[in-house]
Amino acid sequence: MRRGKYKLVLFSFLLICATALLLPTFLAAQKKAVDDEGHQWWQHAVFYQIYPRSFADSNNDGVGDLRGIASKLGYLRWLGVDAIWLTPMFPSPQVDFGYDVSDYENVDPQYGTLKDMDALIADARRTNIRVILDLVVNHTSDKHPWFIESRSSRNNPKRDWYIWRDGKGSGQPPNNWISDFGGSAWQFDPKTNQWYYHYFYTEQPDLNWRNPAVEAAIFDVSRWWYKRGVAGFRLDAVDTLFEDPNLADNPIVAGKKSKYGDPVDDRIYNKKLPEVHGALQRLRAVADQYDAVLIGETWTKDINELKEYYGEHGNELHMPMDFMFTRVDRLSPSEFRRQIAAVDSAGGWPVFVLSNHDIPRVYDRYGDGQHNDQIAKLMASLYLTLRGTPILYYGEELGMENNDPKRVEDVKDPAGRRSWPQDKGRDGERTPMQWNPAENAGFSKATPWNPVDPRYRQYNVETEKKDPTSILNYYQRLLALRHSTRALLDGNYIPLNESDPNVLSYLRSYKGENVLVVLNMSSSAQPVKLELDGKGVTATTLRRLLASFDSPATGSAKDLTVPAFGAYIGELK
């Protein structure tokens, strides 16, 4: 008996030692590099953002769903997509269309079931596509059981999971903070005579990240999904995780009003507090155990802020989104040059986003009304040839444009109703995906929750696939080129002709392989005299890889003319 016990202890001891010795090797092996330079899968991947309500409706109720997404995996693979990011599909009262989560570990019945989610992850894996979810970390829905408990009494154990404070006086909120969607960021709750804080809608109370139990709960949610096979998260609204514990008033910017008619506050006490970084680094440590990737919704205003989100030791977010790029709202080579160079020098792996469910589509932002198709190809040629991971927003590959509501009574996005007519909200960039020229663009047999862009008969997958000059076929060829060209994946970014006001030119250079990208951002043809001296390239013969206009298969780098809004990608040999 005693001898048996001794053996058991010895065996356990050896097992612990072996685990301790082998675990790091096991974890390192898990982080499989995709090349000899140690790049990770997400560095060579093309991500595609799906707004589940609007992608494909399998049960014809007018709202997209998970089975709909699963039915389109073949299309995504054909296009060249390696990972899909689904905006929130968790149970939600849908005040903010899913960004008000009432249960982090389930699927909203509108979108399907957990079984559908498991099937989607498995089907995607078979198709070689990874699935990324959207983790809403800053707040929950006011219908989340955590908040229901929290608001039930001042001494409920979950009270401190949210931010509750006394008002300054009768009817006076605790301070002057303003919600991002208009009005005070505080809501009075008569039941307990206190105010709760909500950076976004009233129905989205902020979690209290100073409470370790909250952090642990969210980390557990991430583990729960990793175990189901998700490959990472896009982290929603991380800038606003922490607030000043003393609730100091934000300074008010004199003489300005927001689109909601509020004073404009400089959010120094409730945005980008240093504590954010510790929390994200700990969340990263959890992600690392599952070889998962973390993408941040980080509205960085400059490179220093971007660097902080990568973490001093690269131990925070793999890919803080670079929205600085989306702020360049005109076709300005010098502005793009400046942003690209800055991001490229930040020391982390860049990520490029041009539009999303909060940002109007490329077609509208850069289109001039006459050359919109060329401009769509031009912009594709920009963000898909840079050093970094691109995130495509569904439908950009078709040249979908915003279909903004025409009447305030049609607006679905509550923020859009508040800011009408100055800003029409975000419905316009969330319209149904256009699959074919049939009714409702083949998205659904029922009336879609949000109207389809009327141009769908021309701009849809089926029609565009048949047209070799379509935006869709251009995207597909560009993605294929990107995947098969090492210089486009890993090459250095070398700007060329930096004082050219019309044409943005650069090289992507990898061990003697030089790919040239020339983007004419002007409305007239431009002869481009490439200044290659001192750029480490001697070759001057150009072999066309892809161009958005007719151009010879080979030519000279000294003699290149690019038509209005034309894009040229070639190899220097």
The residue ranges that bind ligand GLC (CB under 6 A) are 96, 99, 136, 200, 236-237, 297, 357-358
Question: Whose Cβ is closer to ligand GLC: residue 42's or residue 99's?
Answer: 99
Beta carbons of 149 and 162 less than 8 angstroms apart = no
Secondary structure class of 289 (helix, strand, coil):
helix
**φ and ψ of 9, to 5 deg:** -60, -45
Alpha helices in 485-556 (DSSP H): 486-490
Residue 8 CB partners (closer than 8 Å, separation 6+)? none
* Least distance CB 326 / ligand GLC (angstroms): 12
Question: Whose Cβ is closer to ligand GLC: residue 200's or residue 363's?
Answer: 200
| Location of structure tokens 């969340």 | 283
What H or E segment, with its residue span, contains residue 481? helix 471-484
C-beta atoms surrounding 176 within 10 Å: 18
Beta carbons of 446 and 60 less than 8 angstroms apart = yes
In angstroms, how far is the first alpha carbon of the chain from the final one? Answer: 78
* Least distance CB 128 / ligand GLC (angstroms): 27
Question: Whose Cβ is closer to ligand GLC: residue 130's or residue 357's?
Answer: 357
Give residue 551's identity as a one-letter amino acid code.
S
Question: Whose Cβ is closer to ligand GLC: residue 137's or residue 545's?
Answer: 137
Q: How far apart are alpha carbons 328 and 337 in whole angstroms?
A: 11
Catalytic residue among 57, 82, 108, 297: 297
Biggest distance spanned by C-alpha atoms of the chain: 91
Q: How far apart are alpha carbons 473 and 471 in whole angstroms?
A: 6
C-beta atoms surrounding 145 within 10 Å: 12
236 is annotated as an active-site residue: yes
297 is annotated as an active-site residue: yes
Catalytic residue among 116, 134, 142, 236: 236
| Location of structure tokens 């989100």 | 309
Residue of 395, 394, 413 lying closest to 404 (CA atoms): 413
Residue of 167, 158, 156 lying closest to 190 (CA atoms): 167
Residues known to be catalytic? 236, 297
